[in-house]
Amino acid sequence: MSDYIIIIPVFNNVDKFKRYTYKFVTKYNLKSKCVLLIQNDKDERDYKEAFPDIKQQRTPAGYYKAVNFMTSKLPHNKNIVKIDDDFSSLKKLSGDKLVDVSDVNKLFISIFNELKKSKLSLAGFYPMLSAGYMKERQAVTKDLRFIQGALYLYLNKGIKLQENGKADYIFTIDNYRKDGGVLRYNHIGMGYKFEEGNEKSSDLQKFL
């Protein structure tokens, strides 16, 4: 069985995490695998008070620095799931409709096993919830497809996020160049809160 850790960068928004990602990890009984990446003393107090059931790790300040700190801290080849604090759902294609993934833990384990079997390091999902778009695509691909950063799985090879608004694209390309492929599950889509500051709507047309 493939064990893994879930890292969740958070910053000064207890309510957002509570409305989104906390509900997701609670629904699928994943809280014991989660670590909140905490950047300051106030957040340490606030998140510990609101979510005493989730572990914390102090990191340098800044989203990218926090994630990169964990990449440096965790062992080489460690199975890591990175989830943003505004993630809401994973839904799979069923005929012409989307339905909730029934067992996310089982899904994650199967994906880590497939990464190792395929000699790849990065896996993700279709970057939006759209049954129409998803059904037109092959269920699983290994060519160059955008791995959106709201949630992805990776084997820790020490590849760092670039500190800019295109970090997800660069991270995808860096992993593709290293391994010759990335694993994307095109019949499973992600629900998350769109942040204009992080990406533009037109960006999602790339690598779809």
Q: What is the mean pLDDT of residues 138-150?
A: 97
- pLDDT reading at 84 higher than 60: yes
- pLDDT reading at 121 higher than 50: yes
| 163-193 CB burial, b ≥16 within 10 A, e <16 | eeeebbbebbbbbbeebebbbbbbbbbbbbe
The pTM assigned to this predicted structure is 0.92
What is the model's pLDDT at position 164? Answer: 87
- pLDDT reading at 194 higher than 90: no
Q: What is the mean pLDDT of residues 151-163?
A: 97
- pLDDT reading at 205 higher than 50: no
Q: What is the mean pLDDT of residues 36-41?
A: 98
195 — pLDDT class (breaks 50, 70, 90)? low
- What single letter denotes the amino acid at residue 145? R
Q: How large a percentage of the chain has pLDDT more than 90? A: 90
- pLDDT reading at 128 higher than 80: yes
Q: What is the mean pLDDT of residues 109-121?
A: 98
What is the model's pLDDT at position 1? Answer: 52
